[in-house]
């Protein structure tokens, strides 16, 4: 176990998809404990907000990197299709209107997520850089979008 402090570990927070083909440590060339990694379906910002805030509270965030990718499973259905399929498969679970975060175009949704996070003035006041990248799942090319 490393003796590095939480402040050092959480200076970079990376948010990406839980797709097992996507390994941010590898494609970003990260060293051990260089970044805190948050992964969820689609790498969406809204459902990750509590984790982002917790990590920022524990450390000293300097950069948040949001990464979406091509051929994401969250692009295979529309939001309404996710809702309908989920209700059919899990009728006892009520998400109370929460969205799944379907991704139609990764360039568009990564911009939306970065703009959502930037809309909170506290990030700007703390000089937190928030950037959005898109990874081409097949070529491995990573492109900065915003």
Rounded CA separation 119/132 (Å): 14
71 is known to lie in a ligand binding site: no
Integer CA distances (angstroms), 115 to 82, 94, 124, 131, in order: 24, 28, 12, 9
Name every residue whose Cβ is closer than 8 Å to that of residue 42 and which is 6 or more positions away in sequence. Answer: 17, 68, 72, 73, 74, 100, 101, 102, 103, 109
72 is known to lie in a ligand binding site: yes
19 is known to lie in a ligand binding site: yes
List residues forming the annotated binding site: 17, 19, 69, 72
Q: Which residues contribute to the annotated binding site for Zn(2+)?
A: 17, 19, 69, 72
């Amino acid at each position: 176990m490393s003796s590095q402090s939480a402040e050092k570990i959480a200076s970079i927070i990376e948010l990406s998809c839980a797709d097992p083909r996507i390994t941010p440590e590898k494609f970003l060339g990260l060293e051990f404990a260089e970044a805190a990694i948050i992964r969820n379906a689609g790498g969406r910002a809204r459902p990750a907000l509590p984790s982002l805030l917790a990590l920022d509270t524990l450390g000293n965030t300097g950069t948040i990197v949001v990464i979406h990718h091509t051929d994401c499973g969250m692009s295979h259905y529309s939001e309404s299709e996710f809702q309908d399929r989920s209700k059919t498969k899990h009728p006892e679970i009520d998400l109370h209107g929460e969205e799944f975060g379907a991704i139609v175009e990764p360039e568009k949704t990564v911009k939306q997520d970065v703009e959502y996070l930037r809309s909170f003035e506290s990030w700007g006041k703390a000089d937190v850089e928030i950037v959005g990248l898109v990874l081409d799942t097949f070529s491995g090319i990573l492109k900065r979008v915003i």
